[in-house]
Amino acid sequence: GRGYWSGCAISLTFLPADANCGIVFRRIDLPGKPTIRAQVANRRDTQLRTTLVEAAVHVEMVEHVLAAIYALEIDNCIIECDAPEMPGMDGSSLAFAIALEGAGIRRQWDSCEEYSIAFPIRLGDDNQWVMAIPSVDPGLTIRYELDYGAKSSVPTCESTLEITRENFSQQIAPARTFLEEHEAKQLQSKGVASHVTYRDLLVFGPEGPIDNSLRFDDECSRHKLLDVIGDLSLCGIRLQGKIIAHRSGHRLNGLLAKELWEVSKKQRLDSNLNSITNMRKAA
């Protein structure tokens, strides 16, 4: 596909990886084919997208790819790309989910790291926030509340979905990215996404989507929920609990991913310390 920002033709190849490899991007367009690990430590704030940087090499617009990988329960994968930007496709994760499911997923007999959210974590302010809370239900459930106010042409909506492979493929992956008409014109006036038409993603005018139609009544909040999945995948662990997001974007999502990673790391260290202490007592 083509990159929304660059307009360049881009190819991705998903390759099997050894256990404990994690998710790794490989830039085959650069000398030495450098790699960038999909880890929260490599995340950088970038306008309207998630960017990863390692050793001065970067990949961007990774959130839709990472959402598909996480939701399809893939823990180890090498993603070869011949450009820094991921292909925009139709603005959703659907093409990536179809490709991955079509290739098949191989079970590896190594355990993956999991973290059950133990206490509430809230980041943001009254206008925009994201929160992780414990839950007695298994797995991960995400609720996204979208409300840009009465002056916005983007409809107010909210979505709550458990993140399972089936739910993702059918209810989340098809949800496309969106913006308002004045935002689209502003970007194109700067030479960005000049090749993108209103058929390529959802652009909202006063009467709703322009030259397009919604796949779901709450497609916009479903897409923001999709972004949350992709951004939180940078924790590198399986999460159990509930996430509630109110108008959050990539920056807040990324900050929550960092917080969850640090809390889970501390829990693992404490658990290892307790195990060592118990062993010493037994000895």
For residue 210, the tally of other CB atoms under 10 A from its CB is 16
Give residue 57's domain range.
12-282
pTM of the model: 0.93
Amino acid identity at 238: R
Assess whether pLDDT exceeds 80 at residue 269. no
Residue range 257-282: mean pLDDT, rounded: 70
In a domain, 253, yes or no: yes
Assess whether pLDDT exceeds 90 at residue 214. yes
Q: Which of 74-78, 104-108, 251-255 has the lowest mean pLDDT?
A: 104-108
Is 58 a catalytic site residue?
Answer: no
At 266, give phi and psi (nearest 5°): -65, -40
Q: What is the mean pLDDT of the chain?
A: 92
Q: Per-residue pLDDT tens for 54-92? A: 999 999 999 999 999 999 999 999 999 999 999 999 999
Q: Are 59 and 81 in contact (CB under 8 A)?
A: yes
**Beta-bridge mates of residue 49:** 46
What's 265's domain CATH number? 3.30.1700.10
In a domain, 6, yes or no: no
In a domain, 115, yes or no: yes
DSSP 42: G
In a domain, 1, yes or no: no
Assess whether pLDDT exceeds 70 at residue 272. no
Q: Are 223 and 93 in contact (CB under 8 A)?
A: no
Amino acid identity at 175: A
In a domain, 258, yes or no: yes
For the chain, what is the domain count? 1
3-state secondary structure of 171: helix
Q: Which of 36-45, 133-142, 189-198, 209-218 has the lowest mean pLDDT?
A: 189-198
Which residue among the candidates 58, 64, 246, 250 is catalytic per the annotation?
A: 250
Residue range 261-271: mean pLDDT, rounded: 84
Cα→Cα distances 157→39, 160, 276, Å: 31, 11, 50
In a domain, 2, yes or no: no
In a domain, 4, yes or no: no
In a domain, 5, yes or no: no
Nearest CA-CA partner of 168 in 145, 189, 139: 139
